[in-house]
Each structure stands twice: as C-alpha cells, then as structure tokens.
Amino acid sequence: MNASPPRLLPWGRLGAVAPVPFVGTAAILVALIVFTPVLLATGPSPLAVRAELVVYRVVGSPTTEFYVHAVGSDVPYSEIDVALGTGFLWSGGCPTSGLNWTYSNETDLLELSVTTSLTPVVVNVTVVYDNGGASTVYAAELAFAIIHPGMSNEAIAIAPCPWTSAESPPGSWSVTNLPLTLLLINYGSGGP
C-alpha cells in the first residue's frame, strides 16, 4: 500500500499549529495593549519634560547667555528660577562663600534666558514642572569661568557645585563649539 505524503497547508508548518489569520489578529491585539497607554497619555513624555541648561557665547563677546528650557519644545513650567553668583576668584571649583547673588524668577513659562558679562559666575537653576498636582523639580548649580577671553582658544571652564555632584559637566568647553547643553538633575517631587 502506498501512503501519500501529508498535505502541507499553504502556510507551512506554522499554519498547522497557529492558523495565520489568528496570528495576525493576535499581533494586532498585543500591539494595542502595549501602545494604547502611551497613545492616550496626557501631557508631554517624561523625556520631553526634562529641563536643560544651555550655555552660549561667541568668541570675544562681552556676554555669556544661560538659557533654561525643556528637552521638548512645548513644555510649560510652573516656575523657573535662575540665580547668578558673582564676586569670587576662580580657583577651578565652586566657591563656598563670598557670593553676590542676582535672581531671575518667572512663573508659567516655556523658557528663561539670563545674560551676564561677569566671569567667573555660579549659575543656580531650579525648574518646577506641574502635571495635575504632581510636581517634579529639576535643578543644578555650576560654576563657569571664561578662559583666554578674546583669543582663538577661548574656552569655558565648568565645575559642579557640591550639592549637585551628580551633575557631571565637562571640565572645559571650547567657545567655538558652543552652545553646550547640560541636563538638570531630576530631584523628583522633593527638590534639592
């Protein structure tokens, strides 16, 4: 007696175990389960909300600009505070005393820009994002000094201050490579 070979379905061996029309439907259901919360989430993503400090200067310029905004372009902050500490000698690190502070505090805005002609300077930034009663605080304190002002090798020396030691900026940055973007530290709802 001749046994005829088993008849293969057009979808191969997988079709015998999981019929192709059902596999497609199952894949669509899994995608909906995974992506629906993301698609229906209100407000910007956690990455877009993250605050950053941008440092900008042109070689030979008398001023340096510190610009605070979110990674996403349309994230409103309930509060942005930028304080500039001056009146100290640069020793390569963040000073612990003898600072004269000037403050820029704004509420309900997308960004805040502060310009200074003084060097060295300590920049203390605190940003608060509110989302339905839950607040997230981003902050950092960094010291900056202009090295070789007006020369072709003009650079900015950068040092983190002790309470924001988690911030790890480069030790120096060439002015010709500016702007420099530094992410602020996420302190959660408590703040620094």
C-alpha span between 124 and 139 (Å, rounded): 8
125/137 Cα distance (integer angstroms) = 10
Q: Residue for token digits 């079709």?
A: 15
- Cα 170–54–97 angle (5° rounding)? 65
Domains contained in the chain, CATH given: 1-41 (no CATH), 46-186 (2.60.40)
Go through the chain and tell me how many residues it has: 192
Q: Are strands 51-56 and 121-131 parallel, antiparallel or unpaired?
A: unpaired
Tens of pLDDT, residue by residue, the chain (192 residues): 566 666 555 555 655 665 666 667 777 777 777 766 655 556 667 778 899 999 999 999 999 999 999 998 788 999 999 999 999 999 998 888 889 999 998 999 999 999 999 999 999 999 999 987 888 999 999 999 999 999 999 999 999 988 777 778 888 999 999 999 999 999 888 767
Q: How many CB atoms lie within 10 A of CB 63?
A: 12
Q: How far apart are CA 35 and CA 19, in angstroms?
A: 25
Write down the pTM of the prediction: 0.75
